[in-house]
A and B are shown apart, each in its own frame.
Chain A
Amino acid sequence: MISIINNFLETILPIAYALVTLAYGLAFVRDDAYAAGWRTRLLIFTLVTHFLYIGTHTAEYARCMVTTPFEIMSLIAFTITATYAYIEHRTRSRETGVFMLFVAFMFVVVSSVMTRMPSTPNPVLENNTVGIHVSTAIFGYGALAISAVYSFLFLILYRNIRRNTFGPFFKHLPSLESLEKLSVVAAAIGLTFLTVAMLVAMIWLPDAIDNFSYSDPKLVITALVWLLYAGVLLSYYAFKIDSRKIMLLSVSGFLLALFSMTVINLLFSSFHRFV
Chain B
Amino acid sequence: MTIYAVGINHHTAPVEIRERFALSDDEISTALRTLHDGILKEAFILSTCNRTELYGVPHDDVETDGYVLQDFLRNLKPEIKVEDKYFFKYFTCGAASHLFNVAASIDSQVLGDVQILKQIKDAYELSLKEGASDTILNTLLHYALRVGKRVRAETSLGIGAISISYAAVQLAGRIFDNIHQKRVFLIGMGETGLLTARHFADRGVRKFIFANRTRKRAEEIAPKFEAEVVDFSVFPDALREADVVVTATSSPDILITRSMIKSCMKGRYNRPLLVLDISVPRNVDPAAGSVGNVFLNDIDALQGIVDHNISKRREELPKAGAIVTEELMRFFVWYNSLEATPTIQKIREKFERVRQNELERFRHRIDEKSFEAVELLTHRILQKILHPTMRSLRTQTHDVTSLNMTVQVLREVFDLNDEAPDTDDKHVEEPSSGEDNDQ
Query: Which residues on A are within 8 Å of B, measured CB to CB?
Result: 31, 33, 157, 161-162, 164, 166-167, 170-171, 173-178, 181, 240-245
Does B321 lie at the interface of the complex (its beta carbon under 8 Å from any beta carbon of A)?
no
Nearest-neighbour CB distance to chain A for B398, whole angstroms, equals 27
Q: Could you tell me the distance between the alpha carbons of A244 and B293 in the complex, rounded to whole angstroms?
A: 7
Q: Could you tell me the distance between the alpha carbons of A244 and B294 in the complex, rounded to whole angstroms?
A: 11
Q: Could you tell me the distance between the alpha carbons of A241 and B289 in the complex, rounded to whole angstroms?
A: 17
Q: Apart from A161-B174, A162-B289, A166-B304, what 20 extra A-B contacts exist at CB < 8 Å?
A: A31-B156, A157-B174, A161-B171, A164-B297, A166-B305, A167-B308, A171-B160, A173-B174, A174-B177, A175-B173, A175-B175, A175-B176, A176-B175, A176-B176, A177-B272, A178-B177, A181-B177, A240-B270, A242-B293, A243-B293
Question: Residue B304 contacts which of A164, A174, A243, A245 (CB distance < 8 angstroms)?
Answer: A164
Does B154 lie at the interface of the complex (its beta carbon under 8 Å from any beta carbon of A)?
yes
Nearest-neighbour CB distance to chain A for B147, whole angstroms, equals 17
Task: Report B-chain residues with C-beta under 8 Å of the C-beta of A243.
Answer: 270, 272, 293
- Sample of 27 A–B contacts (CB below 8 Å): A31-B156, A157-B174, A161-B174, A161-B295, A162-B289, A164-B297, A164-B300, A164-B304, A166-B304, A166-B308, A166-B309, A170-B174, A171-B160, A173-B174, A175-B174, A176-B174, A176-B272, A177-B176, A177-B272, A178-B177, A240-B269, A240-B270, A241-B270, A242-B292, A243-B272, A244-B293, A245-B292
Q: Could you tell me the distance between the alpha carbons of A170 and B301 in the complex, rounded to whole angstroms?
A: 13
> Does the CB pair A164–B160 fall under 8 Å?
no
Describe A's contact surface by its main secondary structure.
Answer: helix
> Does the CB pair B174–A244 fall under 8 Å?
no
Q: Could you tell me the distance between the alpha carbons of A171 and B170 in the complex, rounded to whole angstroms?
A: 9
Task: Report A-chain residues with C-beta under 8 Å of the C-beta of B308.
Answer: 166-167
Question: Residue B175 contacts which of A161, A164, A181, A241 (CB distance < 8 angstroms)?
Answer: A161
| Chain B positions 263 through 304: 1 when the CB is less than 8 Å from some CB of chain A, otherwise 0 | 000000110100000000000000001001101010011001
Q: Could you tell me the distance between the alpha carbons of A167 and B312 in the complex, rounded to whole angstroms?
A: 10
Task: Count contacts on B: residues with CB < 8 A to the other chain.
Answer: 23
For chain B, residues 176 to 234, give those with C-beta under 8 angstroms from any C-beta of chain A: 176-177
Q: Could you tell me the distance between the alpha carbons of A143 and B303 in the complex, rounded to whole angstroms?
A: 39
Q: Could you tell me the distance between the alpha carbons of A240 and B269 in the complex, rounded to whole angstroms?
A: 6
Task: Report A-chain residues with C-beta under 8 Å of the C-beta of B156.
Answer: 31
Task: Report B-chain residues with C-beta under 8 Å of the C-beta of A177.
Answer: 175-177, 272
Nearest-neighbour CB distance to chain A for B298, whole angstroms, equals 9
Nearest-neighbour CB distance to chain A for B264, whole angstroms, equals 14
Residue of B nearest to A164 (CB): B301
> Does the CB pair A33–B154 fall under 8 Å?
yes
Task: Report A-chain residues with C-beta under 8 Å of the C-beta of B173.
Answer: 175
Q: Could you tell me the distance between the alpha carbons of A161 and B167 in the complex, rounded to whole angstroms?
A: 13
Nearest first, the 6 A-B pairs at minimum CB distance are: A242-B292, A177-B177, A240-B269, A164-B301, A166-B308, A178-B177
Task: Report A-chain residues with C-beta under 8 Å of the C-beta of B269.
Answer: 240
Q: Could you tell me the distance between the alpha carbons of A178 and B174 in the complex, rounded to whole angstroms?
A: 9
Q: Could you tell me the distance between the alpha carbons of A210 and B11 in the complex, rounded to whole angstroms?
A: 87
Q: Could you tell me the distance between the alpha carbons of A67 and B270 in the complex, rounded to whole angstroms?
A: 45
Nearest-neighbour CB distance to chain B for A260, whole angstroms, equals 30
Nearest-neighbour CB distance to chain A for B271, whole angstroms, equals 8
Nearest-neighbour CB distance to chain A for B415, whole angstroms, equals 53
Nearest-neighbour CB distance to chain A for B210, whole angstroms, equals 25
Q: Could you tell me the distance between the alpha carbons of A240 and B271 in the complex, rounded to whole angstroms?
A: 8
Task: Report B-chain residues with C-beta under 8 Å of the C-beta of A33.
Answer: 154
